[in-house]
């Protein structure tokens, strides 16, 4: 790196630090970010099929199958994927998966994910299944 670039970068970093000090932001006083799964809408089934199912690969997997595979992977990843897991369950149901298929997909990966991840995934899936049925949380 050139000396000019190094100086410019150091000046930018210093300016950023000064701005942060001037704002005196206390992260504990910031409003919590709402859960993505609570505000993101569900895509209609025909749109999912067009963009992630037979519309992409007529001879390949349909949207429901792709979403169930995604659900299995997210279950294995564990708790850090709560919002994506809830969104995937919601979209899998919209694409035609039954609650039984969702549950079986989660349990199928128990050997890889472990009981804690499977339990958490089932808990999150139940939230979305109950919402779809109109049951209270």
Q: Where are the domains of the chain?
A: 31-132
> 122-132 burial, b if ≥16 CB within 10 A, otherwise e?
eebbbbbbebe
Percentage of the chain modeled with pLDDT above 70:
94
Domain 31-132 has CATH 1.20.1290.10: yes
pTM for the full predicted model: 0.72
Res 79: pLDDT: 66
Of residues 69 and 80, more confidently modeled = 69
Q: Tell me what the mean pLDDT of segment 61-83 comes to.
A: 92
Using the predicted structure, report yes or no on whether residue 119 has a pLDDT greater than 90: yes
pLDDT in tens, 36-70: 888 888 999 999 999 888 888 899 999 999 999 99
């Amino acid at each position: 790196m050139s000396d000019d670039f190094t100086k410019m970068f150091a000046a930018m970093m210093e300016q950023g630090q000064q701005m942060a000090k001037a704002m005196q932001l206390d992260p504990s006083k910031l409003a919590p970010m709402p859960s993505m799964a609570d505000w993101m809408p569900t895509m209609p089934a025909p749109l999912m099929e067009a963009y992630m199912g037979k519309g992409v690969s007529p001879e390949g997997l349909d949207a429901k199958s792709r979403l169930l595979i995604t659900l299995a992977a997210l279950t294995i990843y564990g708790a850090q994927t709560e919002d994506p897991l809830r969104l995937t369950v919601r979209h899998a149901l919209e694409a035609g998966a039954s609650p039984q298929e969702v549950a079986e997909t989660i349990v199928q990966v128990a050997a890889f994910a472990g009981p804690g991840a499977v339990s958490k995934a089932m808990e999150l899936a139940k939230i979305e299944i109950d919402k779809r049925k109109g049951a209270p949380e």
